[in-house]
Amino acid sequence: MKRIGNQSLRVGRSAPGLRERATVKIRNAILQIHYKPHQKLTERMLCAEIGVSRTSIREALRQLEAEGLVERIPRRGMMVAAVSPSEARQIYEVRLALEPSLSRLFVQRASAKDVEALKSACDEIERDIDRQPITYYVQSIDRFFDVLMRGADNEVARSILRNLRARINYLRALTAEASGTDRERETLEIMRGVVDAAVRRDADDIAQRCRSMVERSARYAIALLIKLEEEPTTEPERRVVRRKRVLVPSGLKRSSSEVSQDR
């Protein structure tokens, strides 16, 4: 499941914004499962891998703890957080409560420029489906939703979702790793339907499409997390897909008809 390969995590010492850049490096390493759930993160290890001071690492970890990607365990130190099925369910419930309504507001309030930006964000998703590492695809999905939320012009709701952003992207990375590009292309087609509804200014249609998309994501992600919890000490079955090597828990193989009903 490790997708960094030969890519270096090191940050040049003369680069500005070392804390911010270290935060990005560690965040991406978590999303790429380079640092795995429950793995202990020591300042010494991170300093050696990323090449910045302990102060920068400490500040980066503090930021990632606020995002919910790492957690401090008493007497054990800082660990990579793991999203449980229960927490994932709650995250998707928040998304279901907000995103369909915000998509309606997008139809009502978005400018023509906002609609064009949504089209462009969808095109970026298509370009990034086959790119490595997985964070390119995850970030393009994130940009699509950010354009949608920004065009809805409700900063309170947008800030609520922004607080969940890192964990939402973690779930996207995890499910994208387990599913492969066929599922990602199905997701792209669903998003194209959202764009089409936005172009037509059809509030009912865009809200229903967003609701169905979140429900689909929730079903797949929660099923995956449950299987991972059920097999904590066994070596998951490996299979190779066209773009990448992934780890798939046994029992989660799906037919194409089943897959099309999910994420």
The predicted-structure confidence for 84-139, as pLDDT tens digits, reads as follows 999 999 999 999 999 999 999 999 999 999 999 999 999 999 999 988 888 899 99
Cis, bond preceding 133 (omega within 30 deg of 0): yes
Say if residue 97 is in the same domain as residue 168: yes
Q: What is the rounded average pLDDT of the residues 138-142?
A: 94
| Average predicted confidence (pLDDT) for the chain | 84
CATH of the domain at 218: 1.20.120.530
Say if residue 95 is in the same domain as residue 63: no
* Domain assignment present for 202: yes
**According to the model, what pLDDT value does residue 254 have?**
43
Query: How many angstroms separate the Cα of 180 from the Cα of each of 8, 16, 129, 151, 221?
Result: 24, 36, 9, 30, 14
Q: What is the rounded average pLDDT of the residues 133-161?
A: 94
Q: What confidence tens digit (pLDDT) does each residue in 37-88 have?
A: 889 999 999 999 999 999 999 999 999 999 889 999 998 899 999 899 999 9
Say if residue 109 is in the same domain as residue 67: no
**According to the model, what pLDDT value does residue 239 have?**
35
CATH of the domain at 36: 1.10.10.10
In 79-202, where does DSSP find H-type helix? Answer: 85-109, 112-128, 135-152, 155-163, 165-179, 181-200
Give 119: exposed, middle or buried? Use CB within 10 Å, 0-12, 13-18, 19+: middle
Confidence category of residue 246, pLDDT binned at 50, 70, 90:
very low
Tell me how far apart the terminal alpha carbons of the chain are, to the nearest angstrom: 20
- DSSP assignments along 1-23, one per residue: ----TT------TTSS-HHHHHH
Cβ-contact 45, 83 below 8 angstroms:
no
**According to the model, what pLDDT value does residue 134 have?**
87
**According to the model, what pLDDT value does residue 5 have?**
52
Confidence category of residue 4, pLDDT binned at 50, 70, 90:
low
Say if residue 142 is in the same domain as residue 198: yes
Nearest-5° Cα angle at 223, 133 to 86: 100
How many Cα atoms are found within 13 Å in the side-chain-facing hemisphere of 174? 27
**According to the model, what pLDDT value does residue 193 have?**
97
Say if residue 138 is in the same domain as residue 249: yes
> For the chain, how many structural domains are there in total?
2
- Tokens describing residue 126: 């298509």
Say if residue 63 is in the same domain as residue 108: no
Using CA atoms, how far apart are residues 216 and 212, in angstroms rounded to an integer? 6
* Domain assignment present for 5: no
**According to the model, what pLDDT value does residue 181 have?**
85
* Domain assignment present for 4: no
Say if residue 125 is in the same domain as residue 199: yes
Say if residue 147 is in the same domain as residue 245: yes
The pTM of this model reads 0.77
Say if residue 46 is in the same domain as residue 25: yes
**According to the model, what pLDDT value does residue 43 have?**
93
Using CA atoms, how far apart are residues 45 and 43, in angstroms rounded to an integer? 6
Say if residue 123 is in the same domain as residue 41: no
Percent of the chain scoring above 70 in pLDDT? 82
* Domain assignment present for 24: yes
Domain range for 64: 18-80
Q: Which residue has the higher pLDDT, 161 or 3?
A: 161
Confidence category of residue 197, pLDDT binned at 50, 70, 90:
very high
Say if residue 109 is in the same domain as residue 192: yes
